[in-house]
């Protein structure tokens, strides 16, 4: 403690009384905490007054061995920098936003004469109009389907569009107007696009009234076929609205953040509203210390949430945030316009926040129930295997190959909160390759299809890498239990690897199916103990099966992707002048590498980006003896 206080006190002597961000690091240079301050000197000096600090902060101070300081012009800039550093460094003592996946959007492209409507994730680099975010892919897919029915916009790729010679199935089921083959003029198609953009921008009621009037007029003129078209379009748009359970007429673009906490755990429910319509909601469970106040958790979460997402005009929150003005200024700086952060006190907006809070409470209750169930299963597994402690991180390994070719190993990870998919790893089996690009030694060459040798390679690479990066085993990335898919042979290999690396304290077990691979008759193999069967009615057996099946699924999926890539690479990548872009264009046009090999020069030359000279080169590659 004295060392940490002394280091902080020395830093305070040189600190200015201006806004900025400070980082505390441990003896290895790993970040412990990232904080921001309106006055750096006043904020950092508070860490030297140990008697006034909570236990969590005292522990952090005792581990501090160095600090880094960054000055900013304003407190809002400091908040933005703080949130970016927290997301990038994930310090142990900060509130951490987990499961930060990108949200899906609807994109109406702007780089084609007949714009495409499609689902989009990631950076918004392509020209066009983006609408969202939506809470999940299902909401986007349902909305796109309805918009296709209402506005008859194409969803096919530009490559498919270019090479159509007759309408596709989407035209037949009345979800596209087939501009690719001229069933609708480009000017009329453009009007459909404008209508869709207007609808997505918030003019839904006006558009539906317009459609209703057109339907009535067509019916009066006894043009019943056209009236039916308008009727179907109105029904499609109504279907979108019926799926949006919560809508507020005077609400434009807004996000709602509601936090509910219990027993030191928190759930933050986020609702998305765009153009007055509900685009869905998502639950988050941020990682934080139990002593951190709800307002602090919510403020930090929101700042991190918008680090890589567009900011709406209005952010509604369930708690009164002391730093709401600073947060609004920071978000406004990022958005380039005014952003309001408010806690509604009455009216429909207040009811909306209350509804989000109820959703957060129920989601947290489900999460805690699932965690309790998962914890009981982990404890049951610990008892069954006679482990010294309940495992917090279980790693399960399996291999997949086709008669030895394109062999891959898969590692899945599970813990108290279920499968930890961000920790999954795949291993391309190298066999006779002496070392990888990081210098890890691989086992000696072995015969293709040798499952034991493959398992040896995978375990050696995974564990030796961790030994190199964390020789003192101080991080939480070390397994508390290794499970191998296989029998006594795989277990023997695993034990040998652990002995070679000096990791014999890591428990290891192998799981094999019964005769004829009969699930439910799994046999457990442990070091220095006879194998045994598990009672088919034991819930721990079901847990083991889930772990084994997930590892099997992941290994097979990895192998199939590798096999597909290898097949395409072996056929097309050897052709001079054919890179990734041209290969993609060829596959779009012909559907498969075999079809490319059978194509003539004239057909090849019709592909975008393929000149006649290149087409001749491709043809010669496949047809020259």
Q: What is the pLDDT of residue 28?
A: 84
564-623: same fold as 254-366? no
- Any idea how long the chain is? 625
Q: CB 464: neighbour CB atoms within 10 A?
A: 17
Residue 438 has pLDDT above 60, yes or no: no
Percentage of the chain modeled with pLDDT above 90: 36
pTM summary value: 0.65
Residue 151 has pLDDT above 70, yes or no: yes
Residue 180 has pLDDT above 90, yes or no: yes
Report the C-alpha gap between 454 and 462 in whole angstroms. 12
pLDDT digits (tens, 9 = 90+) for 82-125: 988 998 888 989 988 866 667 888 999 999 999 999 999 888 88
Indicate the SS3 state at residue 276. coil
Q: What is the pLDDT of residue 245?
A: 46
Q: What is the pLDDT of residue 274?
A: 82
Residue range 135-163: mean pLDDT, rounded: 85
Structure tokens at 31: 């970040």
Residue 517 has pLDDT above 90, yes or no: no
- Per CATH, the number for 1-94 is 3.40.1440.10
pLDDT digits (tens, 9 = 90+) for 322-340: 999 999 999 999 889 999 9
Which residue(s) pair with 426 in the sheet? 410
Q: What is the pLDDT of residue 598?
A: 85
Yes or no: say if 376 and 288 are a contact pair by the CB < 8 Å rule. no
Report the C-alpha gap between 228 and 320 in whole angstroms. 52
pLDDT digits (tens, 9 = 90+) for 190-207: 998 988 888 787 665 566
Q: What is the largest CA-CA distance in the chain?
A: 91
Residue 433 has pLDDT above 70, yes or no: no
Yes or no: say if 16 and 71 are a contact pair by the CB < 8 Å rule. yes
Q: Can you name the CATH fold of 394-430+448-559? A: Nucleotidyltransferase; domain 5 (3.30.420)
pLDDT digits (tens, 9 = 90+) for 272-328: 888 777 788 888 999 888 888 899 999 999 999 988 788 999 999 999 999 999 999
Q: Which residues contact 336 (CB under 8 A, 6 or more apart)?
A: none
Residue 229 has pLDDT above 60, yes or no: yes
- If pLDDT is split at 50, 70 and 90, which confidence band does 441 have? very low
Percentage of the chain modeled with pLDDT above 70: 91
Yes or no: say if 86 and 300 are a contact pair by the CB < 8 Å rule. yes
Q: Can you name the CATH fold of 564-623? A: DNA polymerase; domain 1 (1.10.150)
Q: At 20, give phi and psi (nearest 5°).
A: 175, -175
Residue 54 has pLDDT above 70, yes or no: yes
Yes or no: say if 30 and 38 are a contact pair by the CB < 8 Å rule. no
Q: Which CATH number fits domain 254-366: 3.30.420, 3.40.1350, 1.10.10, 3.10.450?
A: 3.30.420
Q: What is the pLDDT of residue 255?
A: 92
Q: CB 438: neighbour CB atoms within 10 A?
A: 8
Q: What is the pLDDT of residue 567?
A: 65
Yes or no: say if 175 and 145 are a contact pair by the CB < 8 Å rule. yes
CB-count burial class (<10 Å; 0-12, 13-18, 19+) for 572 = buried
Residue range 135-146: mean pLDDT, rounded: 82
Mean pLDDT, the chain, integer? 85
- What are the residue boundaries of the structural domains of the chain, listed by start? 1-94, 104-242, 254-366, 394-430+448-559, 564-623
Alpha carbon separation from 168 to 121, 186, 585, 587 (Å, rounded)? 26, 18, 20, 19
Residue 178 has pLDDT above 70, yes or no: yes
Residue range 168-193: mean pLDDT, rounded: 91
Beta strand ranges found along 290-424 (DSSP E): 314-317, 340-342, 394-402, 405-415, 418-419
Residue range 546-552: mean pLDDT, rounded: 91
Q: CB 524: neighbour CB atoms within 10 A?
A: 20
Report the C-alpha gap between 546 and 373 in whole angstroms. 14
Report the C-alpha gap between 582 and 614 in whole angstroms. 10
């Amino acid at each position: 403690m004295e060392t940490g206080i002394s280091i902080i006190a020395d830093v305070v002597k040189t600190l200015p009384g201006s806004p900025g961000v400070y980082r505390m690091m441990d003896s290895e240079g790993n970040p412990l905490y990232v904080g921001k301050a309106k006055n750096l000197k006043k904020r950092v000096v508070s860490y030297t007054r140990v008697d006034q600090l909570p236990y969590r902060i005292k522990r952090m101070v005792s581990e501090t061995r160095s600090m880094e300081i960054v000055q900013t012009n304003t407190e809002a800039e400091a908040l933005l920098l703080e949130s970016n550093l927290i997301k990038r460094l994930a310090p142990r003592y900060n509130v951490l936003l987990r499961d930060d996946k990108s949200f899906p959007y609807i994109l109406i492209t702007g780089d084609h004469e007949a714009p495409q409507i499609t689902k989009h994730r990631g950076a918004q680099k392509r020209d066009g109009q983006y609408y969202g975010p939506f809470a999940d892919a299902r909401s986007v897919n349902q909305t796109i389907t309805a918009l296709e029915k209402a506005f008859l916009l194409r969803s096919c790729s530009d490559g498919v569009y270019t090479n159509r010679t007759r309408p596709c199935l989407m035209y037949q089921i009345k979800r596209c107007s087939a501009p690719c083959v001229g069933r609708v003029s480009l000017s009329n198609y453009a009007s459909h696009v404008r209508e869709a953009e207007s609808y997505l921008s918030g003019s839904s009621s006006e558009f539906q009234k317009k459609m209703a009037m057109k339907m009535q007029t067509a019916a009066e003129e006894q043009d019943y076929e056209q009236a039916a078209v308008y009727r179907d379009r109105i029904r499609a748009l109504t279907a979108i609205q019926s799926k949006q359970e919560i809508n507020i007429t005077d609400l434009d673009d807004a996000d709602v953040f509601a936090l509910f906490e219990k027993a030191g755990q928190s759930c933050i429910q986020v609702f998305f509203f765009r153009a007055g319509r509900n685009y869905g909601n998502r639950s988050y469970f941020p990682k934080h210390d139990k002593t951190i106040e709800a307002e602090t958790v919510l403020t930090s979460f929101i700042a991190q949430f918008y680090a890589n997402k567009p900011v709406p005009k209005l952010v509604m929150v369930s708690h009164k945030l002391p730093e709401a003005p600073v947060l609004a200024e920071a978000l406004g700086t990022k958005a380039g316009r005014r952003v309001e952060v408010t806690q509604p006190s009455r009216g429909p907006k207040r009811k909306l926040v209350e509804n989000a809070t109820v959703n957060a409470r129920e989601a947290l209750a489900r999460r805690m129930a699932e965690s309790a169930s998962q914890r009981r299963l982990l404890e049951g597994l610990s008892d069954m295997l006679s482990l010294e402690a309940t495992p917090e991180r279980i790693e399960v390994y399996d291999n997949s190959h086709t008669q030895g070719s394109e062999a891959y190993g898969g590692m899945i990870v599970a813990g108290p909160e279920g499968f930890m998919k961000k920790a999954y790893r795949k291993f391309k089996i190298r066999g006779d390759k002496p070392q990888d690009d990081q210098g890890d030694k691989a086992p000696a060459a072995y015969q293709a299809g040798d499952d034991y040798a493959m398992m040896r390679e995978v375990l050696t690479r995974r564990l030796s890498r961790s030994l190199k990066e964390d020789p003192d085993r101080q991080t939480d990335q070390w397994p508390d239990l290794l499970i191998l898919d296989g029998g006594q042979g795989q277990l023997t290999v695993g034990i040998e690897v652990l002995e070679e690396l000096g990791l014999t304290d890591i428990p290891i077990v192998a799981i094999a199916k019964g005769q004829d691979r009969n699930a439910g008759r799994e046999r457990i193999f442990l070091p220095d103990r006879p194998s045994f069967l598990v009672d088919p009615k034991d819930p721990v057996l079901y847990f083991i099966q889930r772990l084994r099946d997930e590892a099997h699924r992941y290994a097979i999926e990895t192998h199939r992707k590798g096999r597909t890539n290898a097949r395409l690479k072996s056929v097309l990548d050897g052709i001079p002048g054919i890179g990734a872009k041209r290969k993609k264009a060829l596959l779009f046009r012909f559907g498969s590498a075999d079809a490319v090999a059978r194509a003539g020069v004239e057909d090849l030359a019709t592909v975008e980006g393929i000149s006649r000279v290149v087409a001749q080169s491709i043809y010669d590659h496949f047809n020259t003896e």
